[in-house]
Amino acid sequence: MLADASDRALRIGNCSGFLGDRRSAMREMLEGGPLDVLTGDYLAELTMWVLARVRTKGSGKGFADTFVEQVTDCRDLIAASGVRIVANAGGLAPEACAEALKPLGFSVAYVDGDDVRGRTAIPERAVTANAYLGGWGIAAALGAGAQIVVTGRVTDAAMVIGSAAWWHGWSAGDFDELAGALVAGHLLECGTQVTGGNYCFFQELSAVMDGRPLGFPIAEIASDGSSVITKHPGTGGAVTVGTVTAQLLYEIQGRHYANPDVTVDLRSIRLADAGPDRVRIDPVRGLAPPPTTKVAVNIVGGYRNSVTLLVPAPDVEAKTGLLRRQLEPALRHIDDVTWRLDRTDQPDPGSAACAVASLTITARDSDATKVGRAFSSAAVELGLATFPGVAFTSPPEGARPYGVYQPVYLPNSEIRHVAHLPDGTVCAVEPPTETADPVCDDEPPPVAAAFDGPTRRVPLGSVIGARSGDKGADANIGVWCRSEEHWRWLRSVLTTERLRKLLPEAAALPVSRTEFPNLWALNFVVHGLLGRGAAENTRQDRQAKTLAEWLRARWADVPVSLLDR
pLDDT at residue 448, rounded to an integer = 76
Structural domain spans, the chain: 10-296+407-429, 304-404, 455-563
Say how many C-beta atoms besides its own lie within 10 A of residue 62's C-beta. 21
Strand partners, 357: 311
286-287 β-sheet, strand order: 256-258, 263-265, 286-287
For the stretch 25-67, pLDDT in tens is: 999 999 999 999 999 999 988 899 999 999 888 877 999 999 9
User: CA–CA distance from 129 to each of 46, 89, 96, 157, 397 (Å)?
Assistant: 12, 17, 18, 19, 30
Report helix, strand or coil for 180: helix
Q: How far is CA 48 from the centre of its chain?
A: 13
For the stretch 537-556, pLDDT in tens is: 889 898 999 999 999 999 99
Binning pLDDT at 50, 70 and 90, where does residue 2 land?
A: low
Q: Which of 26-40, 73-87, 266-280, 427-441 has the lowest mean pLDDT?
A: 427-441
Report helix, strand or coil for 129: strand
Q: What are phi and psi of 484, to 5 degrees?
A: -60, -40
| Helical residues (DSSP H) of 189-302, grouped into ranges | 206-209, 241-248
For the stretch 206-258, pLDDT in tens is: 999 999 999 999 999 999 999 999 999 999 999 999 999 999 999 999 999 99
Cα angle value 36/93/104 (rounded, 5°): 50
Nearest-angstrom CA–CA distance, 215 and 212: 9
Q: Which of 246, 253, 243 is nearest to 279 (CA)?
A: 243
For the stretch 153-196, pLDDT in tens is: 999 999 999 999 999 999 999 999 999 999 999 999 999 999 99
Nearest-angstrom CA–CA distance, 152 and 1: 23
Give yes or no for a contact between 42 and 193, defined as CB atoms under 8 angstroms apart: no
Determine which helix (DSSP H) or strand (DSSP E) holds 29, and give its type and residue range: helix 25-32
pLDDT at residue 97, rounded to an integer = 98
Give yes or no for a contact between 70 and 87, defined as CB atoms under 8 angstroms apart: no
**What letter does residue 25 receive in the DSSP assignment?**
H
pLDDT at residue 58, rounded to an integer = 80
521-526 β-sheet, strand order: 465-471, 474-480, 521-526, 511-516
Give mean pLDDT, residues 461-488. Answer: 96
Give yes or no for a contact between 382 and 326, defined as CB atoms under 8 angstroms apart: yes
Binning pLDDT at 50, 70 and 90, where does residue 5 land?
A: low
Q: Which of 298, 297, 306, 299 is nearest to 364 (CA)?
A: 306
pLDDT at residue 283, rounded to an integer = 86
**CATH number corresponding to 304-404:** 3.30.70
With the CA atoms of 37, 237, 251 and 36 taken in that order, what torsion angle do they form, in degrees rounded to the nearest 10?
Answer: 10
For the stretch 299-327, pLDDT in tens is: 999 999 999 999 999 999 999 999 999 99
Given a cut of 60, is residue 74 above it in pLDDT?
A: yes
Nearest-angstrom CA–CA distance, 558 and 565: 12
Binning pLDDT at 50, 70 and 90, where does residue 6 land?
A: low
Strand partners, 87: 40, 150
Nearest-angstrom CA–CA distance, 57 and 238: 41
Q: Which of 107, 113, 71 is nearest to 89 (CA)?
A: 71
| Helical residues (DSSP H) of 64-193, grouped into ranges | 65-73, 75-81, 94-101, 136-143, 158-168, 175-188
Q: Is the peptide bond before 314 cis (omega within 30 degrees of 0)?
A: yes
Strand partners, 37: 12, 84
Give yes or no for a contact between 154 and 139, defined as CB atoms under 8 angstroms apart: no
Given a cut of 70, is residue 442 above it in pLDDT?
A: no
Given a cut of 50, is residue 3 above it in pLDDT?
A: no
Q: If 0-12 CB within 10 Å is exposed, 13-18 middle and 19+ buried, where does residue 93 land?
A: buried
| Dihedral over Cα of 214, 245, 277, 27: its sign | negative
Proportion of the chain above pLDDT 90, given as a percent: 91
